[in-house]
Amino acid sequence: MDKSVVEIEVKAVLPTSGGCAVFLGDDLKVFVIYVDQAVGAAITMFMHHTPKPRPQTHDLFADVLTALGAHVQRVVINDFSESVYYARLIIEASNELDQKKIVEIDARPSDSIALAIQQKAPIFIAAHVLDGVEDMSDVLEKMEERGFQVGDEGDDLPEDGE
Asked whether the beta carbons of 72 and 65 are under 8 A apart, the reply is: yes
Q: Which pTM value belongs to this model?
A: 0.85
Phi, psi of 109 (to 5 degrees): -55, -40
What the chain holds in terms of domains, given with CATH numbers, is: 5-145 (3.10.690.10)
Q: Mean pLDDT in the chain?
A: 87
pLDDT at 158: 39
Kindly report, residue by residue over 106-148, the tens digit of the pLDDT: 999 999 999 999 999 999 999 999 999 999 999 988 888 887 7
Residue 2, pLDDT score: 63
Distance CA 16, CA 64 (A): 32
Whether the predicted pLDDT of 25 surpasses 50: yes
Q: What is the pLDDT of residues 52-80, one digit of tens each?
A: 888 888 989 999 999 999 999 999 999 99
φ/ψ of 81, rounded to 5, equals -150, 130
Whole-number percent of the chain with pLDDT over 70: 90
Sign, CA dihedral 148-115-75-16, equals negative
pLDDT of 15 strictly over 60: yes
